[in-house]
Amino acid sequence: MGFSEILYEKDGPVLTISLNRPEQLNAWTRVMEREVHEAMTEATKDDSVRAIILTGAGRGFCAGADMNLLGGLQDEAEKAKSRIQTVMPVNNSIPGGLQLSRDYGMRYTYFPTVPKPILGAINGPCAGLGMVMALYCDMRFASDSAVFTTAFSRRGLIAEHGISWMLPALVGHANALDLLMSARKVRADEAKEMGLVGRIIETEKFMDECRAYAEELATMVSPRSMRVMKAQVYTALHQNLESAILTANSEMPGSFESDDFREGVAHFVEKRAPAFSGT
């Protein structure tokens, strides 16, 4: 596929999508927005892709919205209001992806509808809109040089694109208010302590270890199990316990009847590597 502001690189069953404006610390543009959505759509259709890494080219993940874009929004407030609502369609969920609630079909909230695990590999500065995109990844690993900031309050902005919901879900109410109101910079060790990231990795080993983890997901785990579990977890965020249990009960017969269940038992008994089909 031809992209101008991202890289789309397949290595066996692992796809790496890299935001690719390194001189601008991968500042977010409308072109990048469209291309990331197109890349996630292509990855969803491609059965050979079983795990996705989202990262940034160069020394940063994403420095937030490109300042030229912000400047344009400030110049024409009324037109900006219209642009914010119409740049991407209201239903932005991935075609052929998981059937989740409308919460996951908004402009930036669609990563959960991708039926494959998305690892956010935060390799450096992660700010503003870049932080929003990182939060919608299924899990986040940080290099020891990563720095996080919500940034919005220091630009006179508000908690945008659902970060006011997603951030407290990950780090708790008080930590979320701290990060949003102060917009202070948080290094990787504090981010991990809060629960914002799951793992810190030395910069020199960072991408190798991220790829190793993604490779393990892609080769050792049932794609069907991951697909169903991902839908369960994001649905459960809006359910009570009883509803989550009933959802699990409804999914169990299909798992017992699946090819992946048969392969899961067979490879364990035969002490060999699995060969899951995803069905």
- Tell me if 278 is assigned to some domain: no
> Which pLDDT does position 228 carry in this prediction?
96
* Domain around 259: 221-269
Same domain, 207 and 70: yes
Q: Would residue 276 count as lying in a domain?
A: no
3-state secondary structure of 41: helix
Residue 275 lies in a domain: no
**Domain-embedded: residue 173:** yes
250 and 184, same structural domain? no
- Burial code (b: 16+ CB inside 10 Å, e: under 16) for 181-209 equals eebeebebeebbebebbeebbeeeebbee
pLDDT for 64 equals 94
- What letter represents residue 202's amino acid? E
Q: Based on the domain organization, do 158 and 259 belong to the same domain?
A: no
**Tell me, what CATH number does 159's domain have?**
3.90.226.10
Tell whether 123 and 185 lie within a shared domain.
yes
Name, in order, each residue with C-beta under 8 angstroms of 264's C-beta and a sequence gap of 6 or more: 222, 274, 276
| pLDDT at 10 (0 to 100) | 97
Domain-ending residue, one of 184, 202, 217? 217
Residues 53 and 152 in one domain: yes
User: Are 106 and 43 in a shared domain?
Assistant: yes
My answer on whether 142 and 250 are in the same domain is no
Domain final position from 202, 217, 232: 217
Residues 32 and 146 in one domain: yes
Residues 250 and 131 placed together within one structural domain of the fold: no
Same-domain check for residues 76 and 23: yes
Same domain (yes/no): 165, 252: no
C-alpha triplet 259, 263, 264: angle, nearest 5°: 115
The parts of the chain modelled with pLDDT lower than 50 are 86-88
Measured CA distances, 51 to 20, 119, 212, 243 (Å):
20, 8, 11, 28
Q: What is the pLDDT at residue 117? A: 98
pTM of the predicted model as reported, rounded to 2 decimal places = 0.91
21 is a domain residue: yes
Q: How many domains is the chain built from? A: 2
Separation CA 71–CA 118 (nearest Å): 31
35 within some domain: yes
> Do residues 130 and 240 both lie within one domain?
no
* Residue in this structure with the two tokens 């919460």, named with its chain if needed: 103
